[in-house]
A and B are shown apart, each in its own frame.
Chain A
Amino acid sequence: MKPLVNLLVIGSLVVAVLGAVTAYMPRLSLPDDQLVGLTLGSDAGKDQAGKPLVPAKSKLTAEHLAQLRDSGAKRIHVREFSLARWSGLWLFLAGTAGLIAGSVAARRSRAPQAAASQGRTASVDDARRSLSEIRAVIADIRATLQTMDAAGASAIVLERIGAAQRDLVPAFLNQRPAIAAALGQARTAQVMERFAMGERSMNRAWSAAADGFTDELDETLSTADELLAQSAEHLARG
């Protein structure tokens, strides 16, 4: 179903954009009274030397139009827009209708996905697991920090927080669509906001360790842990 919907959306977009392209390009087959007096947006027609028959910015006259039709030109580019002159209107409307149909179809095809609660729960569980793992890493580091000198503390934070940033944080973030499907946007925002604040504290601890500022490490990691716990709480309420 999804590939068909995507195809419908892409095809409709192409058709609608093609229609929109002609908005300022009326056909020369229109009667003179619809075209005379319009201002050319681009050169029109071409003589044998390759020079334009009517240059851009010219006000169209009946003579211009006759000349252009004789030269075989099919359309002109004008500065004024009018629904009556827009030959691609039907293409645009068809494309727009296709996009609307695509939207409806996309929403319908998303519904069964959302209803697949089994898979969704598994993903949210994965997110919970990732959060627990990150908190476990932090707890472990904090326990180890008590027994280490400054150099050792920096090294362990750089290594273990670095690994968490590389593996565990992306693993949690990958579950965002599932969290959003399960909790809705507002609740997801609460989860993500607390998570991001905790993540930023972890990042700060990493930077402090890299700069050799180890006095604040425990405090910063404690803040990170508290914020991640709040994120986990919001997630659990789902």
Chain B
Amino acid sequence: MNRPGIRRYVEASISSVVFGLLLGAIMNAAITYAGLKIGFTIGGSAIAAVLGFGVLRGILRRGTILECNLTQTVASSVNTTNAGVIFTVPVLLLLGHQLSFSDTSFWMITLACSVGAVLGVAFIVPLRKQMIEIDRLRFPSPTAVGAILKSPGAGIKKSIVLAAGILVAIVIYLPSGLPSIKSPAALSDLDSLVERERITPAQATLTRTIAGWIDAKAAPEAVIARGRLAEQVHDVRVSATLSPEDKTKQEEALKAQIKAVAGAEGYSDALCQAAYLASTGAQTWESLRTARTGWAMKPLPGYQDLGLRLSDKGATAPLDRRIDRDQNGRADHFVTDSVFDIGRLLGLPDEAQLALAIAPFALGAGYLTGRAGLMVLAGGFLAYLVLNPLAFRMGWLPQTVRADQVASYAMGAYNRPLGVGLLLGGALLGVAASLPSIREALRSIARAGKTTTGGRDELGLKTLVIVVMTCMTLLLIAAEFVGEPTASTGALSWMNPWVAKAVIVLVAGAWIWFAGIIIAQCTGMTDWSPVSGMALLTVVLVLLLAGTSDVISAVLLGAALCAAITCAADMMGDLKTGHIVGARPRTQQTWELISAGIGPVITMATLVLIASVNLEQTGIAIGPGTPTVAPQAQALKAVVDGVQGQEMPYAQYGFGALLGALLGIAAFPSLGVLVGLSMYLPFMYILTYGVGCVANMVLGKIKGRSWAEEWGVPFCAGLIVGDACLALIINAIVLIRG
């Protein structure tokens, strides 16, 4: 009720909502492009908080803490779904399907993703009380965002500490990120680049060869001949008159001719094509001076340029692989741009990995997690320092796997499947163990409005049920009307197709709820989100139920589910920030429900625009051969191929789940989740994260818990936000420079 003369403390003003929507839309389109091109995605709450804060308070001179909180809530909900969509939908393009604005499939997939995003929010809302108020999960990044938003009232000293955290993050991360910004190398730099192992001697030789062609304005006849054929392949691909079958036939014939050209074997098609175009005058010879042709690129300086190498004192040539893994005759760096390899420095056996990622965000997240994060560290030690070396020493791994390849082999062969299984089992037990308090939390939401104090804080169950029912119906409609009608070949093939689709949608709904809980728990406890693992399982689940013949339906449902679980985790994080700054959950939940569906529309539109431009320029919609290689979607395509070829290690998922559940019974319910997460993630990030956890405990002992929280939180908020902002800037520069 408004009282005259009282200045109300408003959360949702027009400026906060409109600016959140605008910011989210811009971030979504930009990050969709970055994700398809270089695999970079970011949830964006921290960035949105900083930008919202800077623009609303700094430039527009308006916007309270709560308005800035709503801005970041809206912006991140519009942005965050792109991770789920670009992980899944481009698979269709990679498999040769077409998407355009005039295509029903495009609109059905967009509808499904939007509906999925809203479902993710609706499903996770009732768990807010459980995770944030009762379990008090830490949510390191949202806590950092809270610290940023509170900085105006926190006093000058805390603002300085926050700024110091940002500065330290920049100082640490800059030499790690800068080398990804590259420019064509000058010939005079080549020797130095080889010396610093920035390029290989072969790349230097190729660059000198290309330079010779540029100077002579001519290339060998074989190169030009091959380039002519490569150009013809391109013409066939972009032809508007040829049928797809004719295109394939002609392309294959031309490729056979390319193979038959003698004298141009060491060169790529792209280089030959550029040389041919230069020889015809369609391009300048200078245009050969790009990374696409194989010209050596000179990165900006980074940690690797410090030249910190393992000692080769007393070693005789040729150097042993323990010192020189790439066998280039020089001792390896123990500090590269992104990793500090302590294990090699200490002389640990190669099969035991002990390396620190140079990642301030992981350090900050570890500090904010504190003691609980040690379980993740312990799980990492178990996987990478006990399990992998034992498996290697006992001769269980293929003989072609060298000691230094054990960590990466084990990750794909058993660590990741077992880790995902442990996550599932741990989460399932966690949900079972929390049932009494979940029931209590739901009762409390159902009582909303009946109590005098604080009752209307939350969206009511009735509203959520209506939203869920509507969304499930829309999802069913989208699944039914997408693609060509195909008989199901999956586990439900014996059912009537309509009933089968309805069952799949129901299972999908249950899975959204469960996967949303897992992601929210993981980010809540540790800040790490196993979203790619959950997305992978989601698509596997859908493919198993729907069958592998109906890939469009499977991808549609997979995309909807991925959008849902990313939104669920984002919602919970935003609600945690809201709790810290005192926002009303109902306002955040309402706006997140409204804005979540917008994100997929922007992502899908951006995707189709990019695919259209690619088709016009290269004849390929997306993937290798285009500027947007879609790395995540390629990974998922491998999974789709794996399911189709019966290659998934289902038994290991199951064994992991059993162990996860047993661990939860033996110790505490979420232990399986923590250990699973540590097996699922690369150890170098876990180790850096663990250093943060230990730093928190040590500081707490020395200076007191209160001091460690009061000053540690703003500093670590600075580390997380500084890292995220700098990564965004560096990736933007990389994209702009092409």
A211 touches B152 (CB 8 A): yes
B667 touches A186 (CB 8 A): no
A16-42 interface code vs B (CB 8 A; 1 in, 0 out): 111011111100000000000001011
| A96 CB–B CB distance under 8 Å | yes
| B440 CB–A CB distance under 8 Å | yes
A21 to B581, CA, bound (A): 46
Residues on A with beta carbons closer than 8 Å to the beta carbon of B705: 170
Interface residues on chain B, size class: 35 or more
Residues on B with beta carbons closer than 8 Å to the beta carbon of A188: 134, 437
Q: Closest chain A residue to B63 by CB distance?
A: A211
| B514 CB–A CB distance under 8 Å | no
A81 touches B651 (CB 8 A): yes
B668 to chain A, nearest CB (A): 9
Residues on B with beta carbons closer than 8 Å to the beta carbon of A185: 434, 436-437, 440
The answer, among B136, B395, B647, B655, for a CB contact under 8 Å with A74, is B395
A96 touches B396 (CB 8 A): no
B710 touches A166 (CB 8 A): yes
Q: State which of B5-13, B241-249, B493-501 sits at the interface with chain A.
A: B5-13
A179 to B677, CA, bound (A): 29
A213 to chain B, nearest CB (A): 4
The answer, among A17, A203, A223, for a CB contact under 8 Å with B418, is A17
A166 touches B579 (CB 8 A): no
| A65 CB–B CB distance under 8 Å | no
Residues on B with beta carbons closer than 8 Å to the beta carbon of A117: none
A223 touches B441 (CB 8 A): no
B666 touches A42 (CB 8 A): no
Interface residues on chain A, size class: 35 or more
With A43-B398, A201-B582 as known contacts, state yes or no: A189 contacts B437, CB within 8 Å.
yes
Q: Closest chain A residue to B3 by CB distance?
A: A215
A209 to B150, CA, bound (A): 11
The answer, among B6, B132, B437, B652, for a CB contact under 8 Å with A186, is B437
| A233 CB–B CB distance under 8 Å | no
B583 touches A204 (CB 8 A): yes
B655 touches A92 (CB 8 A): yes
B651 touches A211 (CB 8 A): no
Chain B, 359-389, CB within 8 A of any chain A CB: 382, 386-387
A97-140 interface code vs B (CB 8 A; 1 in, 0 out): 00110110010000000000000000000000000000000000
B8 touches A216 (CB 8 A): yes
| B316 CB–A CB distance under 8 Å | no
| A158 CB–B CB distance under 8 Å | yes
Q: Closest chain B residue to A25 by CB distance?
A: B396
Residues on B with beta carbons closer than 8 Å to the beta carbon of A50: 400
Chain B, 154-197, CB within 8 A of any chain A CB: 154-155
| B430 CB–A CB distance under 8 Å | no
B685 to chain A, nearest CB (A): 21
| B659 CB–A CB distance under 8 Å | yes
Residues on A with beta carbons closer than 8 Å to the beta carbon of B395: 74-75
A194 to B64, CA, bound (A): 26
Chain A, 41-61, CB within 8 A of any chain B CB: 41-46, 50-52
Q: Closest chain B residue to A74 by CB distance?
A: B395
A13 touches B659 (CB 8 A): yes
A204 touches B133 (CB 8 A): no
Most-contacted residue by chain A among B395, B400, B659, B665 (CB, 10 A): B400
Residues on A with beta carbons closer than 8 Å to the beta carbon of B64: 207-208, 211, 213
B30-69 interface code vs A (CB 8 A; 1 in, 0 out): 0000000000000000000000000000000000111000
The answer, among A210, A215, A226, for a CB contact under 8 Å with B453, is A226
| A94 CB–B CB distance under 8 Å | no
Residues on B with beta carbons closer than 8 Å to the beta carbon of A52: 398, 400
| B646 CB–A CB distance under 8 Å | yes
B462 to chain A, nearest CB (A): 20
B7 touches A213 (CB 8 A): yes
A164 to chain B, nearest CB (A): 12
Q: Closest chain A residue to B66 by CB distance?
A: A207
B227 to chain A, nearest CB (A): 33
| A230 CB–B CB distance under 8 Å | yes
Q: Closest chain A residue to B7 by CB distance?
A: A215
Q: Closest chain B residue to A159 by CB distance?
A: B155
Chain B, 316-351, CB within 8 A of any chain A CB: none
With A18-B390, A79-B646 as known contacts, state yes or no: A42 contacts B398, CB within 8 Å.
yes
The answer, among A24, A42, A173, A203, for a CB contact under 8 Å with B651, is A24
Residues on A with beta carbons closer than 8 Å to the beta carbon of B400: 42-43, 45-46, 50-52
B651 touches A196 (CB 8 A): no
Residues on B with beta carbons closer than 8 Å to the beta carbon of A193: 129, 133-134, 440-441, 444
With A21-B387, A42-B413, A44-B398 as known contacts, state yes or no: A203 contacts B666, CB within 8 Å.
no
Q: Closest chain A residue to B130 by CB distance?
A: A189
| B649 CB–A CB distance under 8 Å | yes
With A25-B396, A41-B413 as known contacts, state yes or no: A207 contacts B65, CB within 8 Å.
yes
| A64 CB–B CB distance under 8 Å | no
With A42-B409, A102-B666 as known contacts, state yes or no: A203 contacts B582, CB within 8 Å.
yes
Residues on B with beta carbons closer than 8 Å to the beta carbon of A92: 655
With A103-B662, A193-B440, A203-B581 as known contacts, state yes or no: A216 contacts B9, CB within 8 Å.
yes
| A145 CB–B CB distance under 8 Å | no
Residues on A with beta carbons closer than 8 Å to the beta carbon of B434: 185
| B265 CB–A CB distance under 8 Å | no
The answer, among B8, B655, B675, B706, for a CB contact under 8 Å with A167, is B706
With A43-B398, A79-B647, A227-B454 as known contacts, state yes or no: A210 contacts B152, CB within 8 Å.
yes
A196 touches B579 (CB 8 A): yes
A14 touches B414 (CB 8 A): no
| B465 CB–A CB distance under 8 Å | no
A22 to B710, CA, bound (A): 48
Residues on B with beta carbons closer than 8 Å to the beta carbon of A14: 382, 386-387
B474 to chain A, nearest CB (A): 33
Residues on A with beta carbons closer than 8 Å to the beta carbon of B656: 20
A191-203 interface code vs B (CB 8 A; 1 in, 0 out): 0111111011111
B666 touches A205 (CB 8 A): no
B56 to chain A, nearest CB (A): 12
A213 to B656, CA, bound (A): 53
A44 to B399, CA, bound (A): 7
B423-447 interface code vs A (CB 8 A; 1 in, 0 out): 0000000000010110111001000
A179 to B120, CA, bound (A): 32
Q: Closest chain A residue to B128 by CB distance?
A: A196
The answer, among A39, A73, A184, A206, for a CB contact under 8 Å with B582, is A206
Could you give 12 example pairs across A and B, Cβ below 8 Å? A9-B666, A14-B382, A23-B649, A73-B398, A96-B662, A103-B666, A167-B706, A186-B437, A186-B439, A192-B136, A213-B9, A216-B9
Instruction: Name the 5 nearest CB pairs between A and B, nearest first.
Output: A210-B153, A204-B582, A196-B133, A203-B582, A189-B440
Q: A17-B387, A227-B454 are in contact. List 13 more A-B contacts (CB 8 A).
A: A43-B398, A43-B400, A45-B399, A74-B395, A74-B396, A166-B709, A189-B130, A201-B582, A203-B580, A207-B65, A210-B150, A210-B154, A226-B453
